[in-house]
Amino acid sequence: MYCSYLASLRNGLQHLSALKSLTTISCAELASLPEGLGFFAALETIETHGCPKLMELPTWVENLDSLRSLTIPDCYNIKSLWEGLQLLCALQQWS
């Protein structure tokens, strides 16, 4: 998803239960990822590129048992990653 004016993703996304990949690119106004994504059991990949207003990864990411790849380049306001990433047993790649 590329949209420089996108400020949020709707919480209604929880109806996309089979979603395997979420990519956001150059969403300069995006400040957070919706809570509803924490229930996506099939989600394998999150790629968030160039989202400078994104300050942190939500804690629900640790609930994504199928997450294999987490990529957050050019999100330079994310200062730290919390210990919950240790709980992602399927995670093979993060950058």
Please report whether residue 3 resides in a domain.
no
Specify the pTM: 0.84
Answer yes or no: is pLDDT of 85 > 80: no
As a whole-number percent, the residues of the chain with pLDDT over 70 amount to: 88
Give residues with Cβ within 8 angstroms of 7, minimum separation 6. 29, 30, 31
pLDDT of the residue at 45: 95
The residue type found at 55 is M
CB atoms within 10 A of CB 57: 21
Quote the domain boundaries for residue 32.
Answer: 21-94
Residue 4 maps to a domain = no
pLDDT attached to residue 69: 95
Cβ neighbours, 10 Å, residue 23: 12
Provide the domain count of the chain: 1
Give yes or no for residue 32 having a pLDDT over 90.
no
| Residue 10 domain flag | no
